[in-house]
Amino acid sequence: MSAPMEVVVCSDSAGQLWNCAVFELHSGTNLLSYRGGNTSTRSLAILNGEHLLGAQLGKNYINVWEIQRKDQLQQKIVCPGIVTCLTGSPNSLYLLAGIAESIYLWEVSTGSLLAVLSRHYQDLTCLRFTDDSSHFISGGKDNLALVWSVCSVLQADPSQTPEPRHVWARHSLPITDIHCGLMGPQARVATASLDQTVKGLAPFRMLQAYTA
């Protein structure tokens, strides 16, 4: 059995040579490339190491490729609006998409739409799962970062709108990116913003803020 290889998976919004590509981390060698359309920022996801998904820039669908089938666009998933951010859960059970101000949660195995969460006041910019797939964090142009429990969302009363577990309002401008560490719901989370700060957060308290 060959040793594991470290790779970088990236997308090109200009799309002159390819939409998405896989590079060997140390040498920079292009191992695979996938054509067809252009993937928007923060909307590239890998499911179970078998499929690569990318939200089409400025369009209301998601491109899907089989990772082992080079250069072949396999299918498109039509969405109810333009997808601004996309992510898959580490256990490959769920897919999240930010569409305008709402978060859409799908079950991968069936394609069923499990929930639509409308708690942000402006468009979504980024989504991240915890490493154990039990929670996810959403960031938006409303300057808010929200922490959601997958279990609470799935078990919520259909007549009621699920609420986030935590609401972090520590930025003064839109959130541009989110990084989530290890240890599931106890993970440290870092949020970046147009206010030129990166803020480190824990599930129950603010840790520290750094000014760029």
pLDDT in tens, 93-135: 999 999 999 999 999 888 889 999 999 999 999 999 999 999 9
If one counts the domains in the chain, the total is 1
Q: Is residue 168 in a domain?
A: yes
At 180, which CATH number? 2.130.10.10
Q: Is residue 30 in a domain?
A: no
pLDDT greater than 70 at residue 71: no
What residue numbers bound the domain in which 108 lies?
79-211
How far from chain centre, in Å, is Cα 100? Answer: 14
Please report the DSSP string for 150-199 in residue order. HHHHHTS-TTS----SEEE---SS-EEEEEE-SSGGG--EEEEETTSEEE
Q: Is residue 120 in a domain?
A: yes
Q: Is residue 188 in a domain?
A: yes
SS3 (DSSP) at 102: strand
Q: Is residue 204 in a domain?
A: yes
Which residues sit opposite 76 in a β-bridge? 63
The Cα–Cα gap between 52 and 27 comes to: 22
The Cα–Cα gap between 194 and 183 comes to: 28
Question: Can you give the pLDDT at residue 74?
Answer: 65
In this predicted model, what pLDDT tens digit does every residue of 26-66 receive, in sequence order?
888 888 888 878 888 888 988 887 888 889 888 899 988 88
Q: Is residue 11 in a domain?
A: no
Q: Is residue 107 in a domain?
A: yes
Question: Can you give the pLDDT at residue 73?
Answer: 61
CA nearest to 82, candidates 50, 30, 46, 123: 123
Q: Is residue 3 in a domain?
A: no
